[in-house]
Amino acid sequence: MSTDTSIKIPTMAELAARGESPEILFWVGCAGSFDSRAQKITLAIAKILTKAGISFAVLGTEESCTGDPAKRAGNEFLFQMQALTNIEVLNGYGVKKIVTGCPHCFNIIKNEYPGLGGTYDVIHHSQLIQELLDAGKLKVEGGAFTGKKVTFHDPCYLGRANGVYEAPRKVIEKLDVAMSEMKRSRANGLCCGAGGAQMFKEPEKGSKDINIERTEEALQTQPEIVAVGCPFCMTMMTDGIKNFEKEESVKVMDIAELIASAGEL
Amino acid sequence: MISSIVFILILAAGVWFFSKSVSKIIRNIKLGRDVNRSDQPLLRWKTMAMVALGQSKMITRPVAGFFHIVIYVGFIIINIEVLEIVVDGILGTHRIFAPFLGSFYDFLIGSFEFLAFAVLFGCVIFLIRRNIIRIKRFTSPELKGWPISDANIILISEIILMTLFLLMNASDQVLQANGVEHYVKAGAYPVSSLIVPLLSNLGTEQLILLERSAWWIHIIGILLFLNYVPYSKHFHIFLAFPNTYYSNLEPKGQFTNLPSVTREVKMMLDPSISAPEEAGQEPVRFGAKDVRDLTWKNLMDAYSCTECGRCTSVCPANITGKALSPRKIMMDTRDRLEIVGKNIDKHGKDHDDGSSLLYGHIKEEELWACTTCNACVEACPVNIDPLSIIIDLRRFMVMEESKSPTELNGMFTRIENNGAPWQFSPTDRLKWTEQE
């Protein structure tokens, strides 16, 4: 056992050098790679994949922004530059299946890369975790989460954009929590305010910030945990909870963190 | 005989003017860029049957949904009666369907009466919602003036038409009971019989005058209404059907990839690919500045919009006081398209009036408030897509004019330079593995 605290995650390049290729590529995403809070989500996903015995790898330094914020902001040039470069890398490794830790990466690779020559089987980590739980490759019990009040905030790019509403909920239900839905959920879910490149700019002039509106609604369910499935939602909801000075009593956690924590990974 | 001729002339004029208005709308819609929406016909028919015919998205709001279905069903079924009125008008007959249908005719007329009353009641409820309860989405700034009047005109017209219909039946049944010539005994009148006591003082001639007036004003009213609809938000009664048929069937998160951009990007990435020789072709504009840069489906969306405001009421930007309203995006698109259409009528095909949809109608501040969350698209009862217009206008600002908020320019630069929207080195992409 190595003495440093880091875990060993294989990269595509290392595997390729050994003539191997993994079952699935874990697309970490920029937030998952660089944002200190989102890094914890990435780690949780990696632990889950490892625990379930999935052969996976990451691109590491060869990964680059999918182009999502550029495309939603209207910069189709930059998006297509990023997409074509990424597709070249992915196709070079013969990637077939991708799991992403971010609904924006999930949406863009699944829906917008095929038209540019990159067709893969793409799933969001909540879907993969559900599959692993259903197949018995991963077992969790509620443990510390049993009976906790949890509400789930639908990410727009997972829910409305791609119709995935059940996977994250099924995963949460495995933890025997007391699930409580917000007034606006599933197809009616309210955005956290970060999509469409808003994450990278100040909001336009208005009477309120969107994440505050959403956090108020989440707090109405009197949750102990606000569950999210997107690193941008994580930032917005965490900021919102801080705004109401509730960070001691209400935790914002990604689906993957819930499962990793329940499984003591 | 004379009345038949007068009727035919009025009917012909009504239909002719209506078809002229419709053909102008079709021409305007065709000003848009091409987009293929003819794949998967089976799924398209199904979508239309569910969303337009079956009103599946209306009922997500139960009160409005219920009364809308009442008015919609009433409107469609009562049209069978209008068919009889038209045939009677042309032939100079009275209740010509009665002898063919027997007792089923009584059932039909009875049902029409219940429906007419239900429509009338629904319209009153809608007027109350708009003008007395003043539901928020009916009092937004973009509705000030004409759009508010438009909605009230439609509802009041329908109330008048239904009242005339019931008045016509009321006087008719008295004339039938009195055995007046020409008034064949036919029909059942469960609703209008309630008005009959009010007519007890009238003599036969006055009753005939009342019945004929109600009959004529009713049918002329319908023809006037028909000709009002193409100028109104009410045109959705026709366009809801094609508009849902031509719905976007791809996942809502999938935005179009611009092929014109793909060509240029491929040339940049691989200099061995040379520019295709397309002599005489004007370079395509990236994104949209004006209505003609949008697709024909965007333009059909604009004419299909009935300004119900469900989109705006679920828009996170609008809810939190930003300038963006998806409904306004659709209303602006239609207003601008109408102007462009009138310019073509007056000055010919290539007239430039110096204005455009972007800036002239829709401001940058509105467009930059959008989170692309698709709530507006999800909410629309006739599958209108305001988001694709917003994105195409953003594309024009960013790619043709380099006009984007400073922070976004920074984000673009960082993606270009270090492959991430934040200032981090690509060599640090595995740093997360060192966390514990």
* pLDDT per residue as tens digits for the range A86-122: 999 999 999 999 999 999 999 999 999 999 999 999 9
Average pLDDT (A45-62) is 96
Q: What is the pLDDT of residue B277?
A: 57
* Any domain includes A3: no
Tell me the per-residue pLDDT of B43-96, one tens digit each, with 9 for 90 and over.
999 999 999 999 999 999 999 999 999 999 998 998 889 999 999 999 999 999
Co-location of B155 and B83 in the same domain: yes
Co-location of A48 and A69 in the same domain: yes
User: Of A130, A158, A180, which residue constitutes the final position of a domain?
Assistant: A130
Co-location of B22 and B163 in the same domain: yes
Using a CB-CB cut-off of 8 Å, the residues of chain A touching B370 are: 196
Give the C-alpha separation, B276 to B351, whole Å.
30
Bigger pLDDT: B190 vs B282: B190
* Any domain includes A255: yes
Q: What is the pLDDT of residue B287?
A: 97
Q: What is the pLDDT of residue B278?
A: 56
CB atoms within 10 A of CB B95: 21
* Any domain includes B435: no
ipTM of the complex: 0.96
Co-location of B144 and B8 in the same domain: yes
Tell me the per-residue pLDDT of B378-414, one tens digit each, with 9 for 90 and over.
999 999 999 999 999 999 999 999 999 999 999 999 9
* Any domain includes B41: no
Least confident of A140-149, B246-255, B298-307: A140-149
Judged against a pLDDT cut of 50, whether residue A2 lies above it is answered with no
Co-location of B210 and B265 in the same domain: no
- Check CB contact under 8 Å for A156 and B373: yes
Q: How far is B283 from chain A (nearest CA, A)?
A: 16
CATH number of the domain within which B415 lies: 1.10.1060
* Any domain includes A39: yes
Tell me the per-residue pLDDT of B150-203, one tens digit each, with 9 for 90 and over.
999 999 999 999 999 999 999 999 999 999 999 999 999 999 999 999 999 999
pLDDT confidence band for A142 (50 / 70 / 90) = confident
On the 0-12 / 13-18 / 19+ scale of CB atoms within 10 A, A110 is buried
Co-location of A208 and A120 in the same domain: no
Judged against a pLDDT cut of 80, whether residue B280 lies above it is answered with no
Q: What is the pLDDT of residue B243?
A: 98
Q: What is the pLDDT of residue A3?
A: 42
* Any domain includes A174: yes
Co-location of B212 and B289 in the same domain: no
Q: How many structural domains does chain A have?
A: 2
Mean pLDDT of chain B: 95
Domain coverage including residue B231: 2-30+61-236
Co-location of B412 and B373 in the same domain: yes
* Any domain includes B220: yes
Judged against a pLDDT cut of 90, whether residue A151 lies above it is answered with yes
* Any domain includes B249: no
Co-location of A234 and A207 in the same domain: yes
Q: What is the pLDDT of residue B88?
A: 96
Residue A193's contacts (CB-CB under 8 Å, 6 or more residues apart) are A203, A209, A210, A211, A214, A236, B316, B320, B371
Using a CB-CB cut-off of 8 Å, the residues of chain B touching A210 are: 316-317, 319-320, 371
Q: Which H or E element spans position A212?
A: helix A210-220
Query: Using CB atoms, which residue from B262, B399, B415 is nearest to A65?
Result: B415
* Any domain includes A6: no
CATH number of the domain within which A18 lies: 3.40.50.1860
- Contact with chain A for residue B23, Cβ under 8 A: no
Q: What is the pLDDT of residue A143?
A: 83
Co-location of A183 and A71 in the same domain: no
Bigger pLDDT: B273 vs B34: B34
% of chain B residues with pLDDT over 70: 98
SS3 assignment for chain B: CHHHHHHHHHHHHHHHHHHHHHHHHHHHHCCCECCCCCCCHHHHHHHHHHHHHCCCCHHHCHHHHHHHHHHHHHHHHHHHHHHHHHHHHHHCCCCCCHHHHCHHHHHHHHHHHHHHHHHHHHHHHHHHHHHCCCCHHHCCHHHCCHHHHHHHHHHHHHHHHHHHHHHHHHHHHHHHHCCCCCCCCCCCCCCHHHCHHHHCCCCHHHHHHHHHHHHHHHHHHHHHHHHHHHHCHHHHHHHHHHHHHCCCCCCCCCCCCCHHHHHHHHHHHCCCCCCCCCCCCCCCCCCCCCHHHCEHHHHHHHHHCCCCCHHHHHCHHHHCCCCCCHHHHHHHHHHHHHHHHHHHHHHCCCCCCCCCHHHHCECHHHHCCCCCCCHHHHHCCCCCCHHHHHHHHHHHHHHHHCCCCHHHHHHHHHHHHHCCCCCCCHHHCCHHHHCC
Co-location of A178 and A243 in the same domain: yes
**Structure-token match 């995935």, residue found:** A164
- Check CB contact under 8 Å for B322 and A80: no
Co-location of A122 and A203 in the same domain: no
On the 0-12 / 13-18 / 19+ scale of CB atoms within 10 A, A149 is middle
Residue A26's contacts (CB-CB under 8 Å, 6 or more residues apart) are A45, A46, A49, A56, A57, A58, A98, A99, A100, A101
Judged against a pLDDT cut of 90, whether residue A227 lies above it is answered with yes
Q: What is the pLDDT of residue A161?
A: 98
Q: How many structural domains does chain B have?
A: 2
Co-location of B213 and B263 in the same domain: no
Co-location of B208 and B267 in the same domain: no
Using a CB-CB cut-off of 8 Å, the residues of chain B touching A34 are: 420, 422, 424, 428-429, 431
Give the C-alpha separation, B310 to B138, whole Å.
10
Q: What is the pLDDT of residue B435?
A: 67
Q: What is the pLDDT of residue B276?
A: 62
Co-location of A98 and A185 in the same domain: no
CATH number of the domain within which A225 lies: 3.40.50
* Any domain includes B46: no
Domain coverage including residue A164: 140-262
* Any domain includes A24: yes
Listing from the earlier edge strand, what are the strands of the sheet with A121-124?
A: A56-57, A24-27, A97-100, A121-124
Using a CB-CB cut-off of 8 Å, the residues of chain A touching B266 are: 84
- Check CB contact under 8 Å for A72 and B372: yes
